[in-house]
Structure 1
Amino acid sequence: MMASKIVKKQQGAGAKGTILWLPGWSMPDRVFDRLREQLPEFHHISADYRDADSPERMLLLSETAAESNRSADDSICDSNGFHGPLLIAGWSLGGLLALKLAAKGCADGLVLFAATARFTRSKDEADRGWPDAYVRQMIKGLMNDRQVVETKFRRNMFTEAEWDSDLGDSLPHNGSWTTPALMAGLQLLRNEDCLPELPEIKCPVLLVHGTADMICPYGVASELAASLPRAELVAVPGSGHVPFLGREADIADKLRRWWDEHQNSCYSASI
């Protein structure tokens, strides 16, 4: 019963497995709709953080969504109740949560968009994150005028060239998350650190990262690629913090090729 309240399902063919979609801070999961449409061979599920009131609740929602991949009464499941392998696709905050799930052995593969293993960084790591003081200011600002905080954050998601091309207008509107959920997400970004766990994540990982990202700078993509044992990095030149937006067909092709290669190598190793 709990999973039905927190997990949105989109029925797909499911032949290649299931993708669990974890959105970024303040974003509804429909930001992925056009990308999911390009991947009809997968079954799609997602976690909904809009009403989460604590970082612990966000982690629980993520874990429950991953567990929902097993559903004995779904007609497109196999005889064991599985939708095949589970890929977890996380963007930004969702990428941090995806890494937490993978460290617990919940994923067969990860697709990380503009992700980081630790968001807040010291001054000498400015090329890999934001200072904690800035995130604390955002939390304080939410109590005064959340629209100002969300609008400023969204402004940083895109480069000037992307704004000039109206790419930012493709995002869902502000206001889908409750204020407690926004605060919980920022607290999670302040405190979670997956860096020590990266070498233990053995599943294949596809990293998609914009070279002009001002929120999760490109340095963290290089850090992830160097620390994850089976990572492949796809750089998106000139892109900001939403590297899949407006590039859905190309990103879907790269994801499909990457996953097919890993599936084929697993099959070859088993015979």
Structure 2
Amino acid sequence: MTATIGAPVVAGARWDPPAAIAVRGTVLVLPGRGEHAGVYDRFGRRIAADGYAVRSATPETVPSLAADAAGPVVLAGSDTGALHALAVAAAHPSLFAGVIAAGVATGDAADLGWDAELEARTACPTHQARLTGDTGFRRGALSLPVAANLLAPAPVTVPVLVLHGEADTVSPVAAARRIAAGLPKAELATVRDGRHDVLNDATHRTVAAHVVQWLERLRADSGATPILTVHKH
């Protein structure tokens, strides 16, 4: 295949906190290759339950959504969505308090059959069933190359949470380590046995909980200084 995946094409989904909870901030989600906003329903509902408004977006709609959103505003992207999030944050640093980059795509593309792609994406049987029965999901998209301009280093100055599965065969974890090392305010969190769709993998509860903790840190301190410290004796 020679086509190149560009921006995600589906936007408009939203997940709001319960009416009794004041909005603590906004997370704008950028889907990755083959995905649409609905793929992140489970993630969106969980983050919203803790007080954060969650909205799906495209790179083109992000600035206008951020301007009208309750702050702090954070970009969250998976696969190529993570690259878009980093690029948009670099272009509009004053609009965003931070970036969550999950399963960051690399320049490598593998020609996977559907069964192999499903296994590479997630070990979660619920999410596997979701993708298998989802007519809006585009199978085979992980085999398409990433746009070269997205792979250029972006000077992101806001805090970045890099989330990556240690068993990711689509984007090996070594690439995430390099990306995190090149960002001035990055924190790398790797998931044991985690696969490519780290926000929707078998450990999605743990990942979502870590995201909420990071959002709380960012809300309390623009440098995302840890609030709780675990001491081992």
**TM class by shorter-chain length?**
0.7 to 0.9
For the structure 1 residues 172 and 17, does the alpha-carbon distance in structure 2 shift closer, same or farther, using more than 3 Å as the test?
farther
For the structure 1 residues 213 and 84, does the alpha-carbon distance in structure 2 shift closer, same or farther, using more than 3 Å as the test?
same
Alpha-carbon separation, structure 1, partners of 2:150 and 2:84: 10
- Equivalent residue for 1:100, pick from 80, 84, 87: 87
Unaligned runs of 5+ in 1: 48-60, 72-81, 121-128, 139-147
Question: Within 5 Å, which residues of 2 pair with 1:1-271?
Answer: 6-12=11-17, 15-40=23-48, 41-47=51-57, 61-71=58-68, 82-105=69-92, 106-116=95-105, 119-120=106-107, 129-130=108-109, 134=110, 152-158=116-122, 162=123, 168-171=128-131, 173-176=133-136, 186=144, 189-197=146-154, 200-245=155-200, 246-266=202-222
Residue 110 of structure 1: SS of its match in structure 2? strand
Alpha-carbon separation, structure 1, partners of 2:171 and 2:224: 37
Is the 8 Å Cα contact of residues 86 and 109 (structure 1) preserved in structure 2? Answer: yes
Is the 8 Å Cα contact of residues 31 and 79 (structure 2) preserved in structure 1? Answer: yes
Alpha-carbon separation, structure 1, partners of 2:118 and 2:210: 26
Structure whose residues are more often helix by fraction: 1
Shift of 1:14: 6.0
Identity %: 23
Is the 8 Å Cα contact of residues 20 and 66 (structure 1) preserved in structure 2? Answer: no
Alpha-carbon separation, structure 1, partners of 2:176 and 2:32: 16
Unaligned runs of 5+ in 2: 1-9, 226-233
Name the aligned partner's letter for residue 45 of structure 1: R
Alpha-carbon separation, structure 1, partners of 2:178 and 2:83: 14
Is the 8 Å Cα contact of residues 90 and 98 (structure 1) preserved in structure 2? Answer: yes
What TM-score, normalized by structure 1, do the two folds share?
Answer: 0.65
For the structure 1 residues 167 and 33, does the alpha-carbon distance in structure 2 shift closer, same or farther, using more than 3 Å as the test?
closer
Q: Which whole-Å deviations, capped at 9, do the CAs of 1:58-100 have from their partners, x for residues lacking one?
A: xxx42313422334xxxxxxxxxx4112111101011111111
For the structure 1 residues 115 and 252, does the alpha-carbon distance in structure 2 shift closer, same or farther, using more than 3 Å as the test?
same
Shift of 1:6: 4.3
Shift of 1:150: 5.3
Q: Which whole-Å deviations, capped at 9, do the CAs of 1:6-61 have from their partners, x for residues lacking one?
A: 433333356221111111211122222112222221111112xxxxxxxxxxxxx4
Alpha-carbon separation, structure 2, partners of 1:206 and 1:215: 19
Alpha-carbon separation, structure 1, partners of 2:209 and 2:33: 26
May I ask how many residue pairs the two structures share in their alignment?
A: 207
| Structural RMSD (CA) | 3.1
Name the aligned partner's letter for residue 169 of structure 1: A
Residue 100 of structure 1: SS of its match in structure 2? helix
